[in-house]
Amino acid sequence: MGLVFLITAIEAYGDITANSLISGEPVEGKTFIKRASGGILADGFNSMLAGILNSFPNSVFAQNNGMIQLTGVASRYVGYYIAGFLILLGLFPSVGLIFSLMPEPVLGGATLLMFGTVASAGIRIIAAQKINRKATLVIALSFALGLSVEMVPEILCQFPESIKNIFSSGITTGGVTAIISNALIRMKE
């Protein structure tokens, strides 16, 4: 379970970086470090609280970055209004029924567009870095292994159950691969 918490912290850092980049905020320096450490601390606290309540760790949602990029609105007050609306949906399920009437193609199209913008934000973050041969190899290996367990889940069928549980998620597989390969691969530039 500790590995899952580590991966969610890394995911939170990536999402905070993408959010800052999309919002026009700095992605380095004291302001960014303060924002990132506060976000990771909040994410960790929520995950700890979820563990106490016998639930899975929470994670930030990259979809929010896609919505910021689509709308151009990055105000925290919008987040407060959405939080209030979600509480309203939780307290009154009949309000949520209205959204269940949305045609699936409309929902699918909106989801496709949103995740496309999330992917483009991730590409912008990677492109902003100095990519040397080692980084290229780490990125390629992480993507390859992360996508392979998502696309061909039976690849893990011969492994023990404990390994299957950890590496059945493409995000976890890609994240662990990135950490290990970054630490182990040595290349001269």
Tell me the domain boundaries of the chain: 1-129, 130-189
* SS3 assignment, position 79: helix
Q: How far apart are CA 62 and CA 117, in angstroms?
A: 10
For residue range 133-156, list pLDDT tens digits in order: 888 899 899 999 999 998 998 888
Q: What is the mean pLDDT of residues 117-131?
A: 78
What Cα–Cα distance (Å) separates residue 131 from each residue in 120, 136, 164, 189? Answer: 17, 6, 32, 11
Where residue 84 falls among pLDDT bands split at 50, 70, 90?
A: very high
Token pair 């290229």 is at which residue? 136
Exposed, middle or buried by CB within 10 Å (0-12, 13-18, 19+), for 78? middle
- Four-residue CA torsion sign, 22, 27, 31, 36: positive
Q: Are 21 and 27 in contact (CB under 8 A)?
A: yes
At residue 175, does pLDDT exceed 80?
Answer: yes
Q: Are 69 and 15 in contact (CB under 8 A)?
A: no
Q: What is the mean pLDDT of residues 71-98?
A: 85
| Residue 57, both tokens | 């760790």
